[in-house]
Amino acid sequence: MQRFISTIMTSVTKKIPIPRNGVDYRGKLVLAPMVRSGELPSRLLALHYGADLVWGPETVDRSMIGTTRKVNEALSTIDFTRLPSHGAKDPRKDQPESLIYRIHPEREGKHLIFQIGTSDPERAVQAARIVAGDVAGIDVNAGCPKPFSTSGGMGAALLQTPDKLCAILEALIRDIVPEFEIGISVKIRLLETPEKTEYLVRKLCATGITGLTIHCRTTPMRPREKAIREQLRMIAGICRETGVACLMNGDVENRAQAEQLIAEFGVDGAMIATAAETNSSCFRSEADGGLASWNQVVEQYLKTCLEVENRWGNTKYLLNHLIPGKRPEYREVTMSKSYHQACKILGLEHLESQAKEVDEKLGITPDTEYQGRKNKNKKNKSALAAGGQQGKQRSDKKPLSDRGVQSQQPTLAIA
């Protein structure tokens, strides 16, 4: 990827300065923000296989506001947790905490972009301030077409309210950048016509953002529909004129293809989504081994999940993407109820002992697993909007304070 940087930079007429603690998106192949598929183990897996940056899943501003930043010494992570109110004005203090967002500062902090779902400048700043000291950038989601996002005026709904979107970006640039010295970016989709897209891109680039990602589909388009790339040169050109880094997203399958598309359309970098769900080694170059076998990726993923004690339901969700559907192991893993069972099915005997320990820490037993599925529709709505790692913890799970977690002020930065 780096050999394309010099070619790209020669055509740049302007470049918005990258803040001291921020990161330049140019020349980067990155993991897309994906709800459930973008939790901590997935991000660490992508970085392991060569991703330059990783986006966390869209996290709604309201779900972050009110969280407590805690250092989890046992896992070497930073956890943002809150007491689930379930609509109550005075939630009980003895309720188990919900994990909203988890970061591994040593392994991903300088490569992590926090994507926020918001429709209000003030809330955006309030939520961003909580996490800004622990990440390399804040990205505003203006492209998600899912109802949980658009119904609140967030995601792709912001494409229809460009003044509001610009106000959100300007507020973040005004209030977050000087304090934390990280960049602000935005992810959008194509509009109905090239003229409307051009108008929006020019308006966004004038706010002072350092990066813009264009998903090459319109809001009504589904992932199975082929990405539209005809407008990429125009979008990349506007970004070059204003000094904003431009990433492309949509049907990017591997590093070799990303390099070809960067050269062909003049964008600065590329983002991978669906292909990374299926096999995270898509970020690896041919010189570094290319695409790894599914079982190699699954083993590495499970090892990572065990290291950070990832919620089993989320781990199982991505395993169902990583294991080919025609494999006999696929059906068995979909019916598994614990880390230990999954490791046995996959023949990972060397992980079974650790799997048992993690199952015990997470309170996983056949009975509690069954109850968890039975009550799956009763999860906290704001936590669901934040992405797969969070949700109500089981009542028999040990409190965070008993598992090496220490509370700190929300805005403290990592070392």
Rounded to an integer, the average pLDDT of 376-398 is 44
Other C-beta atoms lying within 10 Å of the C-beta of residue 90: 6
The parent domain of residue 343 ranges over 294-387
pLDDT, mean over the chain: 88
pLDDT class of 267 with cuts at 50, 70, 90: very high
Shared domain check, 201 and 105:
yes
Q: How far, in Å, CA of 51 to CA of 46, rounded? A: 5
Same domain flag for 231 and 371: no
Q: Are residues 333 and 194 in the same domain?
A: no
Rounded distance, CA 342 to CA 368, Å? Answer: 17
How far, in Å, are 61, 73, 113 from residue 82 at the CA level? 13, 18, 21
Provide mean pLDDT across the span 219-225. Answer: 93
Same domain, 382 and 352: yes
Same domain assignment for residues 249 and 329: no
Q: Which of 245, 264, 288 is the last residue of a domain?
A: 288
Please, which pLDDT band fits residue 121 given cuts at 50, 70 and 90? very high
Q: Which of 144, 166, 205, 239 is catalytic?
A: 144
Q: Are both 247 and 120 inside the same structural domain?
A: yes
pLDDT for residue 148:
84
pLDDT (0 to 100) of residue 408 = 47
Per-residue confidence (pLDDT) for residue 84, from 0 to 100? 75
> What is the structure's pLDDT at 372?
39
Residue 407 covered by a domain = no
Q: Can you tell me the distance from the alpha carbon of 3 to that of 395, in angstroms, rounded to the nearest whole number?
A: 53
Residues 101 and 235 in one domain: yes
Is there a domain that residue 399 lies in? no
Confirm whether 341 is domain-assigned.
yes
pLDDT reported for residue 376 = 46
Mean pLDDT of 59-79: 97
Neighbours of 371 (CB within 10 A): 13
Q: Are residues 373 and 245 in the same domain?
A: no
Overall domain count for the chain: 2
How many CB atoms are located within 10 Å of the residue 9 CB? 13
Give yes or no for residue 368 having a pLDDT over 60.
no
In-domain check, residue 24:
yes
Is-catalytic flag, 144?
yes
Question: pLDDT tens across 98-109, in order?
Answer: 999 999 999 999
Q: Does a structural domain hold residue 393? A: no
Could you tell me the CATH number of the domain that includes residue 168? 3.20.20.70
Average pLDDT, stretch 319-331? 97
User: 260, 288, 316: which is the final residue of a domain?
Assistant: 288
Same domain, 204 and 314: no
- Choosing from 262, 288, 314, the residue where a domain stops is 288
Residue 396 lies in a domain: no
pLDDT, one tens digit per residue, over 13-50 is 578 899 999 999 999 999 999 999 999 999 999 999 99
Asked which of 26-40, 157-171, 223-237, 366-380 is least confident by mean pLDDT, the reply is: 366-380
Instruction: Enumerate helices (H) and strands (E) in the chain, giving the number of each.
Output: 19, 13
Query: Higher confidence at residue 375 or residue 178?
Result: 178
What per-residue confidence (pLDDT) applies to 90? 54
Question: What's the pLDDT score for residue 272?
Answer: 98
Q: What is the pLDDT of residue 366?
A: 58
Tell me if 29 is assigned to some domain: yes
CB crowding 173-210: b at 16 or more within 10 Å, else e:
bebbbeebebbbbbbbbbbeeeeebbebbeebbebbbb
